[in-house]
Amino acid sequence: MSSIIELSTTLLAASAPIRNEPVQARSTARLAALLDSAAAVIDEIGYERLTTAMVADRAGASIGTVYRYFPDRIAVLQALAARNSERLLERLVGELASDAHATATDAVLGVLEVTVELFRMEPGYRSLRVGDVLDLLPPAADETANSVVAGAVAAALQQRFDVSADDAARRAIGSAVEVIDALVARAFARDADGDAVLLDEARRVVRATLAGVL
C-alpha cells in the first residue's frame, strides 16, 4: 500500500516548481521554514494576497533566499500545496491500513476524518488543500489532484478489502473524495473547528455515495 501512496505523492510533488532542490539538511530546513512562513501568512490573509516579500519577512530571510528556491509567488503556493498533498497522502497510509476499519466504507470515512484533522491542525491547509482551484497538475495532465488521491484510495481499498476495480467502484470512490474535499472545505470556511452540521452531512453523503457499490 505504501508504494501506491509514494507513486501518488511523486506525481503531485513533481509539479511543484522549486528552482533548487535542497540536498543538504541545512537547505532542506531553510526551504521548510519558507513554506512554514508562507502557510502562516496564508492562514492570516489568504493565499490571494501572499507575496514573496511577506514570506521572506515572516521567515526572517532575505528576498534573495526566497528567489533561490522559487521564481515567483505562484511557485511558493504550488510548493505549499504539494507539501499539503504529500502530508495528506502520508497520513492515508496508516488510515487505510488500520484494523479499526471493518469495511471499505469505514476506511473512506477515515479518509474524511484525516482530512478534517488536517484542516484543523495544518497551517495553510484550509487555503491550499488537495482539491483547490490552484491545481498542482499541469493542464495537459489527464488527472486532477483529487483524482490522484482517489486513485490511491481505490488501490488501497482493493488491497485491504478486495474492493472491485471496476468503473462503478472507482467512480463511487472518486465521487466520495470530491464530496469530502468540497463539504469539509465548506465546513471550515467560517469555522476554525469545522461546522459540525456540515461535517455530519459530509459523512452521510459519503455513506450514501458508496452504498451498494463497495
Domain with CATH 1.10.10.60 in the chain: 18-70
> Could you give the 3-state DSSP secondary structure of residue 20?
coil
Residue 167's pLDDT is 95
Task: Please indicate whether residue 145 or residue 125 has the higher confidence score (pLDDT).
Answer: 125
Q: Tell me the per-residue pLDDT of 158-176, one tens digit each, with 9 for 90 and over.
A: 999 999 989 999 999 999 9
Percent pLDDT > 70 in the chain is 82
186 pLDDT above the threshold of 90 = yes
**Cβ-based neighbours of 81, under 8 Å, separated by 6 or more:** 16, 128, 129, 130, 132, 134, 136, 145
Residue 141's pLDDT is 55
The CATH class of 18-70 is: mainly alpha
Domain with CATH 1.10.357.10 in the chain: 2-16+81-210
Mean pLDDT, to the nearest integer, of 169-188?
96
- Asked if the 2-16+81-210 domain carries CATH number 1.10.357.10, the reply is yes
Mean pLDDT, to the nearest integer, of 196-210?
98
First vs last C-alpha separation in the chain: 18
Percent pLDDT > 90 in the chain is 60
**Measured distance CA(209)–CA(206) in Å, rounded:** 5
**Measured distance CA(64)–CA(114) in Å, rounded:** 36
**Cβ-based neighbours of 171, under 8 Å, separated by 6 or more:** none
Average pLDDT score over the chain: 86
Residue 12's pLDDT is 52
